[in-house]
Each structure stands twice: as structure tokens, then as C-alpha cells.
Copies of this chain bind each other. A is one copy, B any other.
Amino acid sequence: MLMVEIRKAIHVNEAICRVMSSAITGPKTYVAIEDSLSYYLGEDLLADHDVPAFDRSPYDGFAIRAEDTLDAGKGYPIRLEVIGEIGAGSVHEGEVQANQAVRIMTGAQIPNGCNAVIMLEHVEMLEHDWKTFIQIDRRLTTGENITRTGEDTRQGETLVKKGTYINPGVMALLATCGYKQVPVIQKPKVGIISTGSELLAVDAALEPGKIRDSNSYMLLGQIERAGGIPLLLGQFKDDFTLCYNQVVDALDKVDILLTTGGVSVGDYDYIPAILDKLKARVLFNKVRMRPGSVTTVAEIKGKLLFGLSGNPSSCYVGFELFTRPVIRTYLQSNYPFMRRVVVQLGAAFTRPNPFDRFVRGKLQYENGQTIAMPVGLDKPNIVTSLAEADILIMLPGGAEVYEKEMEVTAILLEDQTGTTMDSFISKQVIH
């Protein structure tokens, strides 16, 4: 009994650096464009043609020759004959001559001979001798209201970089450039093993001293949100050899392995012994932060194992700070970290704390200010507050106290765009 392992706590940023230096990247694969939302681009997205591919009209109106309007002015309209009309997708045959105009729809190609477009609302129409004319009472300049070939982008240009999150706008570009199949990075398989003989299945009736396993499902959601494919691998057995074999089997099946529970500074915890037997390289097993201080990360033959706390909040924060950027690195994201915003603190934290704190909170918008409002009681056992959280409020440790309305930094949990490690671990956290 009572073998208490001595653990050396390191700073959050040091922990992040150690994890990231062992993070691996995933291979490329292809998915249909319809299924590509939320993947990460596996190659630069290149323009396969100039965009637009031809001079075109941004408006409904008339394609004309600017030189024909030289004498036009208020009260001195000039008159052009409308010799045809073209919808988007059609092409006008032949060359437009002096004092001629072509009715043109938004997006249609500018006819040969024309060099300007006048909007429909800016002309007067008239019929004469079975012909149609327009009257224009202003002078147009060459190129006016024409979207030029390649104005948006040039053929061969990189439109979106490899490693970019595919959002609806990227999908539009993929379609424009003919990507029926999209090169993406394969999503990592992330296994979850829960540990603790107190854990019941989600559909089990409660028993004295026991609780239902909530961390597994929370992690499942966090993995999916981060972009991985979660695999529930069940619970640790009550025997060291069985547990060891479970970890060995799991490491065969997954790219990243998570355990939750059983990494406290007490007994009954097989994880250190399993890591030992696996000859794993332990990157750290304690972090100077609250919650989540008891987080172990180890590397085994290139794969990372995250020993997350059994406390829901510690597990949650440990995952978001350490596992999420590893998943995003596997996805080859250029911005594997969550972005932050500067916000007003919505409540005071007047007891100084030597540890960096990551307080679950909620962005609120009041009287033109963005407020970071802590949710729940900020105890590690409080599950209910996790449901409301969409930010982690960063309160760097030290002698400082935090008053209401102070400016603080909040990490956006729902962020997809992301940021770099340098930006994430800037001196807002280190102290």
C-alpha cells in the first residue's frame, strides 16, 4: 500500500511544447466534394483556370462600347441599337459595332467589341421601326462594370493552402476548380479506455458508491469536434496483465490513445506500470494548472497516449489543451490551436492562485461588450457547467487577483479556424 509516486509539475506551455514535439501527421486520402466539410485539405487547392475565365458582366444591363458615350450627358442622351441579348452561359456571335448594344445578364460573357456595361436601371428603352434602342445620358469609361478575366484569381495560383479546414467557402472554391474528389488528410482514429471500478454503463441502474461513465461520451464528443474518429474501447479490467494487453491491442488499432481516470496520485492505478512495461517515454505526468494538473502524456513507438484525469473538468481541459492540437496536427492543420479573444471578465476571482487556471465560461454579449462569464462553480467535479461552456477563461497563476470587468483572454472552444502554437502560448499564459 501507499507507494506514492513523486511527480514533477511543469508549466502548461512547457507541457504543450513537449506534446507537440511528438505529434505526428496523418496520410492523404480522397473524399467526394459532398462529404468534404470539416476535413483538412491534403494538398494546395490550385486554380485550374483564371477566375473568372472570361470578361463578364457583374450586372444585368447592356454591353456597349464606351467610346459611343463620349457625347452623352444629362439632357443629352445618346441612342444605341440593341442588336441581341445574351443570358449567362451564352456567347454573342460576331463583333458589336459602333452605336450598337447587347442586352446582357449577370455573369454573361462580354461580347467582342464591347468594353463597358451600363446597368439596366440607368437606361431608357424605346422601340422605333421594329427596332429596340436604349438611351444613355452619361459617359462611360472603358472597362466600366466589367469583371476582368483573372480578376479574382489566376490559373495555377494557390487559392487555399494544404492544411486548411474545409468550410463552405472552401467547398465553393473546390467546385469552381473542378475538384469532384478532394484530397484531404485522413482523420485519426482516437481510442478511449475508461478506468475505474466505480464506473457503470450508461444504461445501467445506479449502485452504491458507483457512477455512470460520463467521461467516455464527453471525450467522444470532444474527439469528433476536434476532427478525429472516436473509438470506445471499453473499460480497464481489474487485472494488470489484462489492462496491459488492452493497451497493447488498442495501440495497434488507433492513432492516438486516451485513457480517463486512474492517473491520480494514489494507488490502484496501473497506468504508470503499464507505461513502464511498454518502455514508453513519459513526456510529463503533472502540470502546473487547474483543473487538469494530473495529466500524463507518453509516447510509445511514435503514438501518443494521453492519461487524462477521471475528474470530468480536468479530463475536459486536459483534452482541449493537449489532445486537440495533436489531433489537428495529425490532420495537418496549419492552425492546430484554438483561437483566443480578449474579453471582459464577468465575475471576480479574488483569491490569488499559484497555478494557471482555465475556467469554463460562456461568451455573452451585453451593452456592446463581449463578456466572459464563468459557468458553474469551477470545482473539478462539477459536470453541469461543462454543458454551458464555450470558452476557457485563462487566468494566469501568480499573486494577481482578477476583478470583474478586467480584460482577460478566452479560448474559443467551438473555433474551427484555429491559430498557431506560437500565438496560443504567447505570454498571456506564461508568467
Contacts and interface: CB of A to CB of B under 8 A. Distances in A.
Contacts of A362: 417
Contact of A214 (B176, B203, B368, B383): B176
Contacts of A199: 89
A423 B232 CA distance: 40
A403 interface: no
A94 interface: no
A415 B417 contact: no
A394 interface: no
Contacts of A33: 202, 217
Nearest to A82: B1
Nearest to A119: B265
B342 A217 contact: no
A136 B308 CA distance: 30
A103 interface: yes
B365 A172 contact: no
Contacts of A225: 37, 167-168
Contacts of A285: none
Contacts of A173: 214, 383-384, 386-387
A176 to B, nearest CB: 4
B178 A202 contact: yes
A105 interface: yes
A180 B200 CA distance: 12
Interface size class of A (residues with CB under 8 A): 35 or more
A347 to B, nearest CB: 18
A90 B382 CA distance: 21
Interface in A132-168: 132, 147, 152-153, 159-160, 164, 166-168
Interface string A62-100: 000000000000000000000001111111000000000
A337 to B, nearest CB: 11
B106 A212 contact: no
B316 A169 contact: yes
A345 to B, nearest CB: 14
Interface string A90-129: 1100000000000101111100000000001100010000
A232 B341 CA distance: 37
Contacts of A160: 387
A419 interface: yes
Contacts of A339: 363, 365
A349 interface: no
With most chain B CB atoms within 10 A of its CB, the pick from A169, A196, A213 is A169
Contact of A34 (B58, B87, B175, B220): B220
Contact of A179 (B202, B268, B368, B390): B202
B264 A147 contact: no
B2 A125 contact: yes
A380 B147 CA distance: 11
Nearest to A388: B169
A280 interface: no
A205 B210 CA distance: 63
Contact of A384 (B51, B109, B381, B419): B51
A13 interface: no
Given A169-B218, A268-B105, A386-B168, A175 B89 contact: no
Nearest to A363: B339
A385 B208 CA distance: 58
A14 interface: no
Contacts of A212: 175-178
A53 interface: yes
Interface string A347-381: 00000000000000011010011100000000111
A57 to B, nearest CB: 10
30 contacts: A1-B85, A1-B103, A1-B132, A34-B230, A37-B220, A37-B225, A51-B383, A51-B384, A53-B206, A53-B211, A109-B209, A120-B266, A147-B381, A168-B316, A169-B383, A170-B387, A172-B214, A172-B218, A172-B221, A172-B312, A173-B214, A173-B387, A174-B202, A175-B213, A176-B383, A178-B212, A341-B370, A342-B368, A362-B417, A390-B417
